Structures are given as structure tokens and as C-alpha cells.
Amino acid sequence: MAKKVGDRTLEFSERINVISYGNVVGKFEGEGPLKSCFDIIVNDEYFGEKTYEKAETKMQQTALNSALQKGLLKISDLNLIASGDLLNQCISSSYSVRDNDVPFIGLYGACSTMALSVIVASMSVECGYSQYAAGVTSSHFCSAERQFRQPLEYGGQRTPSAQRTVTASAALIVGKKKTNITVKRIAIGSVIDFLVTDANNMGAAMAPAAVDTVVHYFNDTGTKPQDYDMILSGDLGAVGASIFRDMAAEKGYDMQNIYNDCGLMIFDNKKQDTHAGGSGCGCSGAVLTGYVLPRLASGELKNVLFMSTGALMSTTASQQGESIPAVAHLINFTGE
Amino acid sequence: MSINKSNYDEYVKKKTPNSPILKNCIKAFFVGGAICVIGQAITDLCIMLGAGMTEVKIITPIILIFLGSLLTGLGVYDKLGKHAGGGSIIPITGFANSIVSSAMEFKKEGYVMGVGAKMFTIAGPVIVYGVVASMIYGFIYWIVNIVF
């Protein structure tokens, strides 16, 4: 059985391994600094479909297929697909698996979904429910804009703290079969609300949740930032990442050069004019499966903390003046 | 200073970069001004061609609305708006942009519940409060006329 460590962290007793992973990103992401990292770059924002929602669904299928191919697996080998996205009722996720006949758990964790889905998949392997389980997530700039913000062609201005939703989907398959990347520990975050109401400053809303989770994790495990090669937050962006550094340092954890944020890695904010950086479920998903895991596989990285962060508001709650609660889930990946 | 829930708002304000207001204002001034110049040019041209003032007041907005809509459809107006902000939102071309962009965006949901229902999501409030403001103005105008 897995062992609970402290009050938030779970350490897997058996090796839960990353079998394979896949991703697909949009054209704009494919022009960013990580362009060489992705499996598939799609130039058509509709991905050959009629709507952005269908495109996002197809992206999830494509990312999962890419992971299955790399792991030499068939869809029927999976015992569980845990996935989520940003659209109302998580339609990209449920629609993408409707022809699969594989048990499915739909998740909503906003942009924390990559870590959340991998946590659920890993737990299902550990407890014996699955031999192989997949964690999948996606976000699409166009489908998110139309649901959360303004029409694409509307000529409005955005603030410097605003982030751009990443068009990407990522899938990760875990199982007990031996590989050289292990899901060693996971930590589940609680919902933290520091009363930020500006929906254009989600990094600031999410940073306290990220600090809360990482501090709990360090306390639970007795480790410190210097024990890791890399500590990554999901999509705090420029403002959130800077707040994260400040707050963590105040709690006694100086992140130095070990820390980075997926939202800052995926775009070149100056060149691509992406203001504070990338956001969306696909942001941390694409960076994890495109950048981090290949480096763990090659041995360049050995011990990584990956923490996806989610802002849990809705347009209705925002319009009613509610603040933005946030959550962060953490995974400790180790390589050999 | 220890960062906590009660002082977080203040701390975030310090950490968050402000919009470059002066730069934005200058861009808005020139783009907004340019749109007005185009409007004036259309007006002068119509008068030169012999149109009366009543017709010109109809023709000029029609042409500007057409141009705003066309540039929205061609995917240019949002790029202009990104730089010009209020300079391209406030003129009548911006009003056209808000309606056309919504109509384009929600066409996938059908002509009734998509285009029809969503077309005025941005422009709707402008119309409502524009009408309310003109009612208030009319009322004040009426009172002033009676008193003086």
C-alpha cells in the first residue's frame, strides 16, 4: 500500500512508472521557445473540424494516441482514463473518449488538471484498479476565449498581467511496467482564496495555493528545494511566479534557479506579445510531456517537482463579484 | 512585511505591472483621431458631390459601420484594437466591431440562439445605457426649457 507522509503527501510503495506520454500543440505554441519539444504541431486552429470545441476534443484523442503509440499500447490496454479540460461540463474530455469503452473519470481542476489527472491515474494503478491508466488534459485558446472572455475578433485591450490560454493537449500513461521515470510522491492541495477578484491576474490568485501545497510537501517529506533539479509551477505567469518566489522565500524556502513556471517557458513573452505568459490546462501538460519527462528519461534531470495550479472561478462567480479560489496539486517525478 | 490574506491585495498591486497609460493614450488619440478624420473626409466628399446635410448624417455612419464590419471580418480590427484601445472602441466603427465579432463567434450555435441571441452581448449594454442616458438628457433639457 502507498504510504501517507505528513498530512498532504502520498508516497507510492510500489513503483508507479511513467510508461509513455504524448502531446499536440497549436501553431502559436509551435512558434515558441519549446517548439522542438512537441510531438505534433497543428497549424489549423480548427484541426480540420467545424468548431473549436470539436478541435479540442480531437486534440485530446491525438495526444492520447501519441502516448499509446510511444508506449506500444492499444486503447483497450487502458483500465482508466482520467481527464479534464476548461470547457463547461468538461466536454472535450468526455466527448473524446465516448467511443473508447474504457472506464472514465472526468475531472475539473481548471489549469491544475494535468497534475490532478496523473494523480488519479497513479492512484488507480497503485490500488490495483488499473494496469495502465492515462491522465489527459487540454485547453484551446479559441474555445476558452469564447467561453470566458470576448469574441476573438473583438478589438479590446488586455492588461500586462493577463495570460494567454495555451492551445495544447497532453496525455501521460502510468503503470507498473518498468521504465526509468517514476511517480514517487504526490501531494493534493486544498483550495486557497486570497481574495483576488481580478480575472486578468490569475497568477496572483493562484500563487498562494502553489506556496501552500509546496510548503506542505516540504514539511511532510522533510525535503527542501535544493534536493530537486527542477521545481515547476503550472501557469502562474510572470506576476504569479514572482509572488510565488517571494512567498516561498518568506516561509524559508529559497527557490533560486531551481524554480521555473511552465507559463513562462512555453512562450517568449516579449517576442510573442503574450503579456504575463501562458495559462490553461494544456500549458503545464505540454511543458511536462514535451520538456520535463524527456529530460527525466534521458537522465538530464533526476528529481523534479511538478505542480499544476488552477484558478477555480467561473464567469458567473466573477460577475457576481466573487473572488478567485485556487488549488495546486504536486507530483514528484524521479528518473534514473 | 509578511504576506498574508489581509495585506495581499496591497502587495499584489505593487507586484503587478500597470498598463502603459501614457503610451496607450497617445495611440488611442491618434487612431481615434484618424477614424474621425476619415469620417470627416467622407462627409466633405459627400457634400462636394452635392448631398444635403440630412443625407450626409446618414451616409457617413453607414460607410464607417461598413468599414468597421469589413475590417472585423478580415481579422484586422482586433489587431488595431489591441494597440488603439479606446481609440478604436469608442467610434462607431468599434460599435460595429463589437456586434460583428459576436455574430461571427457564435455562428456555430446557429442563427437563432447563436448569432441572434449573442450578437448584442457586448453592444447590448451600450445601447441600453445609451438610451437611458438620452432619456435623462431629454428630461433635463425639457426642465431647463420650462424654467428658463
Q: What is the pLDDT of residues A79-103, one digit of tens each?
A: 999 999 999 999 999 999 999 999 9
Q: Convert the pLDDT of each residue in A292-302 to its tens digit.
A: 999 999 999 99
3-state secondary structure of B86: helix
Q: How confident is the model at residue A205 (pLDDT cuts 50, 70, 90)?
A: very high
Mean per-residue pLDDT of chain A: 96
pLDDT at position A297 is 97
Above 80 in pLDDT, residue A193?
Answer: yes
Compute CA distances A44 → A25, A103, A266, A281, whole Å: 11, 31, 19, 20
Which residues of chain B are within 8 Å of residue A157 when distances are taken between CB atoms? Answer: 19, 24, 81-82, 85
Q: What digits encode the pLDDT tens for the residues A141-166?
A: 999 999 998 899 998 888 999 999 99
Residue B22 banded pLDDT, cuts 50, 70, 90: very high
Domain of residue B52 covers 21-105
Average pLDDT over residues B87-116: 94
Handedness of CA B82, B88, B89, B92 (dihedral sign): negative
Cβ contacts from A onto B, under 8 A: 94
The reply to whether domains A3-175 and A181-335 share a CATH topology is: yes
- The CA distance from A281 to A171, in Å, is 11
Nearest CA distance, A151 vs chain B (angstrom): 6
In a domain, B139, yes or no: no
What pLDDT is stored for residue A259 in this prediction? 97
Closest in A152, A161, A250 to B16, CB measured: A161
In the predicted structure, residue B11 carries a pLDDT above the cut 80: yes
Nearest-10 crossing angle of helices B77-84, B21-48? 130
Say what percent of chain B tops pLDDT 70.
Answer: 99
B57 min Cα distance to partner chain A (Å): 25
Q: How many distinct structural domains can be found in chain B? A: 1
Report whether pLDDT(B136) > 90: yes
Nearest to A155 among B20, B88, B102 (CB): B88
Assign A256 a pLDDT band (cuts: 50, 70, 90).
confident
In this predicted model, what pLDDT tens digit does every residue of B27-36 receive, in sequence order?
A: 999 999 999 9
Q: Give the separation between CA A247 and CA A130, rounded to whole angstroms.
A: 38
Chain A interface residues facing chain B, Cβ-Cβ under 8 Å? 50-51, 146, 150-161, 194-196, 201, 204, 208, 239, 242-243, 246-247, 250
Q: Determine, yes or no, domain membership for B14.
A: no
Say what the pLDDT of residue A177 is: 96
Burial class (CB in 10 A: 0-12, 13-18, 19+), A301: buried
Q: Does residue B147 form part of some domain?
A: no
Hey, what's the cell of B5? 490574506
Q: Does the pLDDT value for residue A1 go beyond 90?
A: no
The candidate with the shortest Cα–Cα distance to A306, out of A208, A215, A211, A234, is A234
Nearest to A152 by CA among A165, A141, A161: A141
For residue B35, being part of any structural domain is answered with: yes
- Whether B1 has a pLDDT exceeding 90, the answer reads no
Q: For residue A25, is pLDDT > 90?
A: yes
B101 → closest Cβ in A151, A201, A208: A151
Number of H helices, E strands in chain A: 11, 14
User: What superfamily in CATH does domain A181-335 come from?
Assistant: Stage V sporulation protein AD (3.40.47.40)
Tell me, what's the pLDDT at A209?
98
Instruction: Report the percentage of chain A scoring pLDDT > 70.
Output: 100
Report the C-alpha gap between B55 and B45 in whole angstroms.
12
Phi, psi at residue A228, to the nearest 5°? -115, 155
Decide if B133 is inside a domain: no
pLDDT at B148: 83
Q: What is the pLDDT of residue B72?
A: 95
Q: Closest to B15 (Cβ–Cβ): which among A153, A195, A243?
A: A243
Residue contact B17–A160, C-beta within 8 A: yes
Q: List chain A domain ranges.
A: 3-175, 181-335
C-alpha dist (Å) from residue B140 to A179, B127, B148: 79, 20, 12
User: What are the chain A neighbours of B126 within 8 Å (beta carbons)?
Assistant: none
The answer to whether A155 contacts B89, with C-beta atoms less than 8 Å apart, is: yes
Beta strand pairing status for A80-84 and A132-139? parallel
Q: What is the pLDDT of residues A222-237, one digit of tens each?
A: 999 999 999 999 999 9
The residue-averaged pLDDT of A113-133 equals 97
Which residues does B4 contact at the CB level (< 8 Å), separation at least 6?
none
A3-175 maps to which CATH number? 3.40.47.40
In the numeric block, the cell 511496467 is attached to A177
Contact A216, A7 (CB under 8 A): yes
Q: Which of A154, A191, A196, A239 to mutate to test the interface with B (most CBs of B within 10 A)?
A: A154
